[in-house]
Amino acid sequence: MNERQPIELVVALSSARKALHLYPPTHPRYSEAIDGLLEATATCLIEGPFTLNVHLGRLYHGSQVLPTDAPGLHSMAETLEAHRVESLTLHEGFNPHDAEMLIEVLGLRPSQSLEVAEQLEKRGVSTVTVSAIVDEDAQEAEERDRLRQQDRALYNRLLGVMRSLTQRIQKTGSTDVGDSAIIVESILGRLMEDSAAVLGLATMTGNTEPNLFHSINTMIYALVLGVGLGIPEEGLTTLGISALLHDVGKVAFDMTDPVEAEKARYLHPKIGAEVLSRLPEQDRTPMLVAYEHHMGRDGSGYPEREADYVTHPYSRIVAIADRYDRLTTPLPDGLGHTPDQAVMQLLRDTLTTFDQTLTRLFVKQLGVFPVGCVVRLSDQSVGIVSGMTGDSLRPRVRVMYDATGLALEPPKDVLLSDVGLEVLETVDPESLRVRISEHL
């Protein structure tokens, strides 16, 4: 085969595409174009199947690079790439029907779900085979989406477990909290695999059952801090259960009534401790945490106590986790702290209230821009922080809007250090008009 023949074949394919688009099948130009294509193909097929490869906007036949200035070659390369075709092979027996169908398929609007091979098969074309470009980004995005769905389902199951556990305590005064260990263990497993995904889960909030969400989120933050401290697994389970049940005293109140809710605010630690005191004797920690989680280091908070009262370390962890979740949960009026503002507030509070070493460690683990922060990047694109990296100033960001303000569908995950971008500023999430948790 001489060097002109592959070029002539693509030129013929390209002009057939044009002719089939412009003329009806009865028009002489239509059949001329098909004949021209079959002729060019027949010459190329003498030596066996003929393959065209596409790479970075160029067409190749074996080691021969086809010129982009021949008519239609550049647009053919673009069409094939848009359809994620890496190589296209024509086989012996290529006929007018297959030619028409190939052109029809290449004329379809490219999309993620459109597979050229599948479309050709559907049209009964057996003399054209294609191999698709393996899109690693798309594969990764698909896998991330699958895990995300799984995590969402897990969170919803945990809400269900927490709901029935709360109802059981409320109705029967039962202190069988065995189910809570299941919640802790399943979250702990995911936390070890992908802490960013779990921190993304903790941005979930609920208008109808805010306390259930708060319990689970507080547990997530407490576990993040516990893992950072190097607490062994058994201790983490106890910490998680304690965090999950820290507000259990609120079950005694109708939290929708403002007067009751205000009473609950001061009384729930005591009542929670009473409920949890009925747990088997070997596990007194949840009771202590329920009792102590509103006690400030400087003697502030409640219940009242002696000046030299020392709180359990887990109570100090849960106090920080509880505060961070309350700060970042939007209030009914839509206002709330953004994650970076909440971190600043925690650091201010720690001057008087919280354990300073623990707070610093917690802040270090969340990063300067915690998961859930909406940020504007140095190229003016806007996204949500979706993960931590070794560089706390350059997290992983799910870019939602590109530099021109265009919404990206699907959003694109970037590691700022890889793409040479910086965080310019944090942005009010309201301006994005999206629920952050739905995108993490």
Instruction: Indicate whether 247 belongs to the interface with Fe ion (CB under 5 A).
Output: yes
User: In terms of CB distance, is 247 or 355 closer to Fe ion?
Assistant: 247
- Count of beta carbons in the 10 Å neighbourhood of residue 312: 18
Answer for the pair 187, 220: CB distance below 8 angstroms, yes or no. Answer: yes
**Per-residue contact flags (x/-) with Fe ion for residues 321 to 350, judged by CB under 5 A:** -x----------------------------
Q: Are strands 407-415 and 58-61 parallel, antiparallel or unpaired?
A: unpaired
Q: By CB under 5 A, which span of 79-87, 108-116, 150-158, 246-254 interacts with Fe ion? A: 246-254
Q: With binding defined as CB under 5 A, does residue 292 bind Fe ion? A: no
Nearer to Fe ion, 98 or 322 (CB): 322
Q: DSSP letter at 251?
A: G
How far apart CA 335 and CA 80 sit, in angstroms, is: 49
The number of residues making up the chain comes to 440
| 81 in contact with Fe ion (CB under 5 A) | no
Q: Which is nearer to Fe ion, 295 or 371 (CB)?
A: 295
Measured between alpha carbons, how far is 126 from 321 in angstroms, rounded to an integer? 62
| C-beta of residue 216 within 8 angstroms of C-beta of residue 240 | no
The amino acid sitting at 413 is: D
Q: Map residue 216 onto helix, strand or coil.
A: helix
Q: How far apart, in whole angstroms, are the C-alpha atoms of residue 146 and residue 144?
A: 5
| Minimum CB distance to Fe ion, residue 407 (Å) | 36
Stretch that binds Fe ion, among 3-11, 75-83, 240-248, 297-305 (CB under 5 A): 240-248
Nearest alpha carbon to residue 243 among 201, 289, 193, 202: 289
Q: How far is the CB of 225 from Fe ion (least distance, A)?
A: 15
Q: Which stretch binds Fe ion (CB under 5 A): 108-116, 227-235, 242-250, 344-352?
A: 242-250
- In angstroms, give the least distance from the CB of 169 to Fe ion: 15
> CB of residue 218 vs Fe ion: minimum separation in angstroms?
6
Residue range at the interface with Fe ion (CB under 5 A); choices 93-101, 172-180, 241-249, 388-396:
241-249
Please, which residue, 10 or 162, has the CB nearer to Fe ion?
162
- Whether the CB-CB separation of 9 and 66 falls below 8 Å is answered with no
Shortest Å, Cβ 249 to Fe ion: 8
Residue with Cβ nearer Fe ion (322 or 355): 322
Least distance (Å) between residue 288 CB and Fe ion: 14
Q: Which long-range contacts (CB under 8 A, 24 or more apart) does 139-148 make?
A: 141/410, 141/413, 144/413, 147/194, 147/197, 148/197, 148/200, 148/440
Q: Are 347 and 368 in contact (CB under 8 A)?
A: no
Alpha-carbon gap, residue 13 to 38, rounded angstroms: 9
What is the closest distance, in whole angstroms, from the C-beta atom of residue 274 to Fe ion in the complex?
15
Structure token digits, residue 345: 């507030």
In the complex, least distance from residue 135 CB atom to Fe ion, rounded to whole angstroms? 44
Stretch that binds Fe ion, among 61-69, 171-179, 245-253, 377-385 (CB under 5 A): 245-253
Q: What are the percentages of helix, strand and coil residues in the chain, rounded to 5?
A: 55, 10, 35
**CB of residue 338 to Fe ion, shortest distance in Å:** 20
Q: What are phi and psi of 154, to 5 degrees?
A: -60, -45
Tokens 């092979």 correspond to: 89
Q: Cis omega (within 30 of 0) on the bond before 25?
A: no
Q: How far is the CB of 365 from Fe ion (least distance, A)?
A: 20
Contact region for Fe ion (CB under 5 A) — 205-213, 247-255, 256-264, 407-415? 247-255
| CB closer to Fe ion out of 15 and 353 | 353
Residue placing its CB nearer to Fe ion in the complex, 247 or 292 = 247
* Distance of closest approach, residue 272 Cβ to Fe ion, in angstroms: 8
Going residue by residue from 372 to 411, which x/- string records binding to Fe ion, judged by CB under 5 A?
Answer: ----------------------------------------
260-290 burial code (b ≥16 CB/10 A, e <16): eeeebeebbbebbbebbeebeeeeebbbbbb
Site track for Fe ion across 296-325, x = CB under 5 A: --------------------------x---
By CB under 5 A, how many residues form the interface with Fe ion? 2
**Residue 351 CB: number of other CB atoms within 10 A?**
11
Q: Closest CB to Fe ion among 294 and 439?
A: 294
Q: Which is nearer to Fe ion, 66 or 264 (CB)?
A: 264
Residue of closest CB approach to Fe ion: 322
Q: Return the number of the residue (94 or 324) whose C-beta is nearest Fe ion.
A: 324
Q: How far is the CB of 342 from Fe ion (least distance, A)?
A: 14
Residues that bind Fe ion (CB under 5 A): 247, 322
